[in-house]
């Protein structure tokens, strides 16, 4: 069931928009009040291109919330449950942002550009206003803005070869989530080893929206020998890889421990971050729900449009948040958020799919 997206000026367009249209974009979504391509009409080909070659993704919707000024580091540490003292300039850190009750409100990558300047590269919620509220209520001397920065991703096993051709051999020495500021034909960029897949790759944070077409063309051209083609964050690959999709896999009361982000919460650090007391209590008691993998029996399934109820011996214990057919495993797989008591590996459950019940078995994550 397809509905056309009606757009106006409220839903912003990416600096790469004209190029994605020219490349044959067929499906879009809206993310951070902005349009994002999700398919170019060949879902299977786009999947295998990501797994085997290299795909070019317009992910300008990953907006940056910039913290800049004398108290920027203090604000970053207030927002982020990780040890910012251990974060160096040029380093990025994946961070579950929580509210004071420990509820997840975003899962950005934090980039430390300077001792007094940070970006939060955000998922789909208005972190801009959240950060402004905290900064102002605490009287911090910091500017919180959304700068003119739009990431373009190259993802897949051949992405590194493309990045080397574009930028030089130094990109191979970049560690995961680390980045460097540079230029390409005069286009100002941050180049990071990152991206929302587990196939490897880079994100090029374009720092001048007027040069979106020029950047796209340059990367496209450099990618030709490596089989580059258009793509988008891939719902099947991300389920296989068990990457969290904020808003898809989470609800209004999700905490990091429920969705396997406990390793990104450091309760030992001294300056209190927001949510620390609540998160300590949850860590001690253990979360009530857990995100698990499920194998679903039977014929290949299509992706879910709604959350599907999960039953354990007739009792409702949670929901499937995302389901797909895995081409690599040739099995039906799903991410589910269910009660801890039903989350042990090999537990047998029933999933109420859109086309009737399916038997399912709990498995560990990631799938691939």
Q: Which residues bind a copy of itself (CB under 8 A)?
A: 1-11, 13, 21, 25-30, 33, 35, 38-39, 99-101, 105, 124-126, 128-130, 132-134, 136-138, 145-146, 235, 245-248, 252, 274, 303-307, 321-322
Comparing CB distances to a copy of itself, the nearer of 157 and 247 is: 247
Beta carbon of residue 104, minimum distance to a copy of itself (angstroms, whole number): 11
Beta carbon of residue 306, minimum distance to a copy of itself (angstroms, whole number): 7
Beta carbon of residue 225, minimum distance to a copy of itself (angstroms, whole number): 30
Beta carbon of residue 58, minimum distance to a copy of itself (angstroms, whole number): 13
Task: Provide the token pair at 330.
Answer: 């040739």
Q: Are 159 and 106 in contact (CB under 8 A)?
A: no
Beta carbon of residue 271, minimum distance to a copy of itself (angstroms, whole number): 16
Comparing CB distances to a copy of itself, the nearer of 38 and 155 is: 38
Beta carbon of residue 49, minimum distance to a copy of itself (angstroms, whole number): 18
Q: Which residue's entry shows tokens 């108290």? A: 71
Beta carbon of residue 6, minimum distance to a copy of itself (angstroms, whole number): 4
Beta carbon of residue 23, minimum distance to a copy of itself (angstroms, whole number): 12
Taking the CB of residue 22, how many other CB atoms lie within 10 A of it? 11
Comparing CB distances to a copy of itself, the nearer of 39 and 291 is: 39
What is the spatial distance between Cα 288 and Cα 308, in angstroms, rounded to a whole number? 19
Q: Distance from first CA to last CA of the chain, Å, rounded?
A: 30
DSSP 8-state class, residue 86: G
Comparing CB distances to a copy of itself, the nearer of 43 and 327 is: 43
DSSP helix/strand/coil, 351: strand
CA dist list (Å): 29 to 39, 58, 279:
10, 12, 32
Comparing CB distances to a copy of itself, the nearer of 129 and 170 is: 129
DSSP 8-state class, residue 184: E
Residue 298 falls in which region: left (phi positive, over 0), alpha (psi -120 to 50) or beta = left
Beta carbon of residue 158, minimum distance to a copy of itself (angstroms, whole number): 26
Beta carbon of residue 256, minimum distance to a copy of itself (angstroms, whole number): 16
Comparing CB distances to a copy of itself, the nearer of 165 and 352 is: 352
Q: Which residue's entry shows tokens 């009792």? A: 315
Comparing CB distances to a copy of itself, the nearer of 135 and 191 is: 135
What is the spatial distance between Cα 212 and Cα 58, in angstroms, rounded to a whole number? 10
Task: Provide the token pair at 25.
Answer: 């974009």
Residues 6+ apart with CB under 8 A from 86: none
Strand blocks (E) in 131-170: 143-145, 150-155
DSSP 8-state class, residue 11: S
Comparing CB distances to a copy of itself, the nearer of 5 and 114 is: 5
Comparing CB distances to a copy of itself, the nearer of 124 and 312 is: 124
6: Cα within 13 Å, side-chain hemisphere: 0
**Which H or E run contains 180?**
strand 179-184
Comparing CB distances to a copy of itself, the nearer of 5 and 267 is: 5
DSSP string, 271-308: SPPTTHHHHHHHHHH--SEEEEEEEE-SS--PPPSS-E
User: Would you mind telling me the total number of residues written for the chain in this entry?
Assistant: 368
């Amino acid at each position: 069931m397809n509905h056309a997206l009606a757009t106006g000026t409220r839903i912003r367009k990416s600096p790469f928009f004209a190029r994605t249209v020219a490349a044959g974009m067929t499906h879009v979504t809206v993310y951070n009040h902005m349009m994002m391509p999700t398919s170019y009409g060949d879902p299977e080909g786009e999947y295998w291109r990501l797994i085997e070659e290299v795909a070019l993704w317009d992910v300008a919707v990953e907006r940056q919330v910039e913290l800049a000024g004398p108290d920027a580091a203090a604000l970053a540490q207030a927002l982020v449950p990780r040890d910012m003292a251990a974060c160096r300039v040029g380093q990025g850190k994946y961070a579950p942002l929580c509210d004071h009750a420990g509820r997840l409100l975003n899962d950005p990558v934090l980039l430390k550009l300077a001792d007094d300047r940070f970006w939060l590269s955000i998922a789909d919620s208005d972190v801009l206003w959240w950060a402004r509220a905290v900064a102002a209520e605490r009287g911090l001397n910091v500017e919180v803005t959304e700068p003119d920065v739009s990431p373009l991703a190259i993802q897949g096993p051949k992405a590194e070869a493309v990045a080397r051709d574009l930028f030089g051999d130094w990109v191979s020495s970049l560690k995961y989530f680390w980045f460097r500021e540079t230029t390409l034909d005069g286009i100002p960029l941050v180049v990071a080893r990152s991206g929302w897949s587990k196939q490897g790759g880079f994100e090029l944070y374009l720092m001048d929206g007027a040069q979106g077409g020029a950047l796209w063309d340059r990367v496209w051209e450099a990618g030709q020998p490596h089989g580059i083609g258009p793509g988008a964050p891939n719902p099947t690959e991300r389920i296989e890889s068990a990457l969290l999709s904020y808003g898809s896999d989470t609800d209004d009361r999700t905490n990091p421990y429920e969705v396997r982000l406990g390793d990104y919460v450091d309760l030992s650090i001294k300056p209190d971050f927001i949510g620390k007391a609540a998160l300590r209590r949850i860590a001690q008691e253990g979360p009530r729900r857990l995100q698990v993998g499920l194998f679903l029996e039977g014929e290949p399934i299509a992706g879910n449009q709604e959350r599907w109820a999960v039953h354990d011996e007739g009792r409702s214990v949670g929901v499937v948040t995302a389901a797909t057919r895995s081409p690599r495993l040739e099995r039906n797989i799903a991410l589910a958020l269910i009660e801890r008591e039903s989350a042990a590996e090999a537990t047998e459950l029933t999933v109420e799919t859109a086309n009737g019940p399916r038997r399912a078995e709990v498995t560990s994550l990631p799938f691939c």
